[in-house]
Amino acid sequence: MSERLQTGDTAPAFTLPDADGKEVSLSDHRGRKVIVYFYPAALTPGCTKQACDFTDNLELLTGAGYDVIGVSPDKPEKLATFREKENLKVTLVGDPSKETLEAYGAYGEKKLYGKVVTGVIRSTIVVDEEGKVEKALYNVKATGHVAKIIKDLGI
């Protein structure tokens, strides 16, 4: 099981393909705060709700200096379908190797319907302008999570 990040840790660097196959790196966002959220799978009900919530609040978040990147183990083609079907505006990147998910502590054992399984742990990491972890939230709920982040960040 991967280690969970703590406030003050350096956020692990990553370069992953987006829905169009273009590479997106955390370092591309240096000088801005970034909300990196990890979700199990595109086109599933909870993940759709969460992605739509981030899209609905994207203007507010970017206006407050935050970029948003959603990470899942999906391939770019599936992310493109997800983006088009749900009219998403957030940047979605795929991590089929799960290396970034593991580096962020967002992949490992979790409980699903009372059973212990290995998979993506729904998590949100807020990274500051210098690439340090400002907040690390694990096992978050898909519904209401974006509103909670906005409140916690004082936006």
pLDDT by residue (tens digit) across 76-125? 999 999 999 999 999 999 999 999 999 999 999 888 788 888 999 999 99
The rounded distance, in Å, linking the Cα atoms of 60 and 66 is 9
In the chain, the amino acid numbered 8 is G
Pick the catalytic residue from 42, 47, 69, 146: 47
Does the pTM surpass 0.85? The reply is yes
Active site annotation includes 47: yes
